[in-house]
Amino acid sequence: MSNSKEMKEIGWNLDNSYAHLPELFFNSLALNPVHSPELIIFNNELAAELGLDAKELINDNGVAILAGNKSPEGAFPIAQAYAGHQFGNFTMLGDGRALLFGEQITPYGDRVDIQLKGSGKTPFSRGGDGRAALGPMLREYIISEAMHGLGIPTTRSLAVVATGEAVIRETELPGAILTRVAESHLRVGTFQYAANWGSKEELQALADYAVKRHYPEMEMTPNPYLSLLQGVIKRQAVLVAQWQLVGFIHGVMNTDNMTISGETIDYGPCAFMDKYDPKTVFSSIDIQGRYAYGNQPGIAGWNLARFAETLIPLLDEDDDKALQLAQDAVSQFPELYRANWLSGMRAKLGIFNEEKEDKALVEELLSIMEKYRADFTNTFLALTFDSHKEFELFGTPEFIQWQEKYKERLSRQEESEDASKEMMQNSNPAVIPRNHRVEEALEAAVNDRDYSVMEKLLDVLENPYEHAEEQAEYAKLPAEADRPYQTFCGT
């Protein structure tokens, strides 16, 4: 989207283009001040990228802004309206505990949302208190920054501020506010909201805005709304493939948690898989395993079909033709996903060229890993660095037979072994945010006000493809637990 504001070198440079949409899409908000805000963690690197003055943001005045006690210059606080299929059930939603200050125009000319999460009640709170607990906000900070380090499109975390107030969930917990940065907060659910409660003109205004903001190259195409649909499908195919390649499980792939920009958003009961098992679920509320690791690509396709349905009135004046255009576009997703996933798997195995049997080779390895409950991340690390002796898997007859096929496959490419190993090192992270390490950091922070454990974890996760010595300790698996690891929504 073109920037209407004059660029500044440093400081707040907010615009409010979303607030120029019809009022159907948002409610303006008054601030909900908190008692005694305290800065817990601040992302200096991100602040610099945004063109913000870190020194100003960590002083009392800046912390007041990050706590939602004060608006920055140029802000127009709003809560965005949207809907969503939550575990398959459609409902009206909206920002029930968040406010959008506006869009920061960075020194690079980028436009990004600045949102406070946990900032208090809004018209969409549905009886909730609009607040957030410290633990879940720190979890989002850790995981979103880890995803950024892994090179996966994601919202970012600028800061977490403790509110000095308690929130009541199952117990009394310390409250906090996260400052979230996103290319935008436009969701599939935003379009579902427009399609169900808006006019065709309001839906078109939203679609035009999405095209202009995220897909400006499509404005002049013969059918920009079809191009928008195709663009979102392509970005989501890339994104979900990237999730699968590092064992990331989102946990709540509701349509309100799928972005038009192609970013990962809303880190609630998310976690990373240790032992490879497509049925892995961590979320305490996903009883049926709808959002299990192996189901994520299919759910993404389902969500995109819901997005396509919202655009049918804009795709063509002939309803039948519009429906066919939508179906044809969505039908491309499975193959787009598979192509991105297989390309990523080739890279993880050091394979440069393409052969028809590559998919079977990868699936055979994954099947052996599942049978022997092998760790997903560390198996590929061991293949990268030939450290086979450490793992039971590599001594099994199945793996030995597979390894012969793998070596033969590598021999059928021009690139050297060194080139393959380099590609594998750049494709297989040395470290992920292991669940026990995340819990260790959160426990120290929330219970003991010791943030050093979290800060060290974030340092280790910053460059996961560095393969540095200090990362080895964080690659170790947890001790066998008495019960499966569970994560919780945090609302």
CB 308 within 8 A of CB 329: yes
172 in the same domain as 315: no
287 in the same domain as 145: no
Classify strands 78-80 and 89-92 as parallel, antiparallel or unpaired. unpaired
Tell me which DSSP letter residue 90 carries: E
304 in the same domain as 155: no
Q: Residue 21 burial (CB < 10 Å; 0-12/13-18/19+)?
A: middle
- Specify if 214 maps to a domain: yes
What is the average per-residue pLDDT within 393-416?
96
Which of the residue ranges 65-69, 387-391, 432-436 would you say has the lowest mean pLDDT? 387-391
Q: Percentage of the chain with pLDDT > 90?
A: 90
92 in the same domain as 37: yes
Strand partners, 15: 103
- Specify if 435 maps to a domain: no
- pLDDT tens digit sequence for 37-64: 999 999 999 999 999 999 999 999 999 9
319 in the same domain as 208: yes
- Specify if 437 maps to a domain: no
- Amino acid type, 177: I
CB 181 within 8 A of CB 156: yes
Among residues 315, 340, 365, which one ends one of the domains?
340
Q: Residue 294 burial (CB < 10 Å; 0-12/13-18/19+)?
A: middle
- pLDDT tens digit sequence for 274-294: 999 999 998 888 888 899 999
- Structural domain count of the chain: 2
pLDDT at 169 over 90: no
CB atoms within 10 A of CB 169: 17
What is the average per-residue pLDDT within 202-231?
98
Strand partners, 168: 172
Q: What is the DSSP string of 137-173?
A: HHHHHHHHHHHHHTT--B-EEEEEEEEEEEEESSSEE
Closest C-alpha to 107, from 51, 54, 56: 51
Among residues 165, 185, 205, which one ends one of the domains?
185
129 in the same domain as 41: yes
**Which pLDDT does position 483 carry in this prediction?**
57
**Which pLDDT does position 285 carry in this prediction?**
85
Closest C-alpha to 94, from 209, 197, 204, 205: 197
Question: Of these residues, 15, 113, 256, 266, which one is catalytic?
Answer: 256
Q: Percentage of the chain with pLDDT > 70?
A: 96
What is the average per-residue pLDDT within 204-220?
98
- Specify if 234 maps to a domain: yes
- Which of 9 and 374 is assigned the larger pLDDT? 374
pLDDT at 6 over 70: no
- Specify if 363 maps to a domain: no
pLDDT at 489 over 70: no
- Specify if 116 maps to a domain: yes
**Which pLDDT does position 8 carry in this prediction?**
59
Q: Could you tell me the pTM of the whole model? A: 0.95
221 in the same domain as 160: no
- Specify if 326 maps to a domain: yes
- Specify if 235 maps to a domain: yes
256 is catalytic: yes
- pLDDT tens digit sequence for 309-356: 999 999 999 999 999 999 999 999 999 999 999 999 999 999 999 999
What is the average per-residue pLDDT within 412-419?
97
Among residues 127, 152, 185, which one ends one of the domains?
185
218 in the same domain as 202: yes
Range of the domain at 91: 14-185
**Which pLDDT does position 480 carry in this prediction?**
78
147 in the same domain as 32: yes
105 in the same domain as 174: yes
- d(CA 320, CA 302) in angstroms, rounded, equals 20
Confidence tier at 478 by pLDDT (50, 70, 90): confident
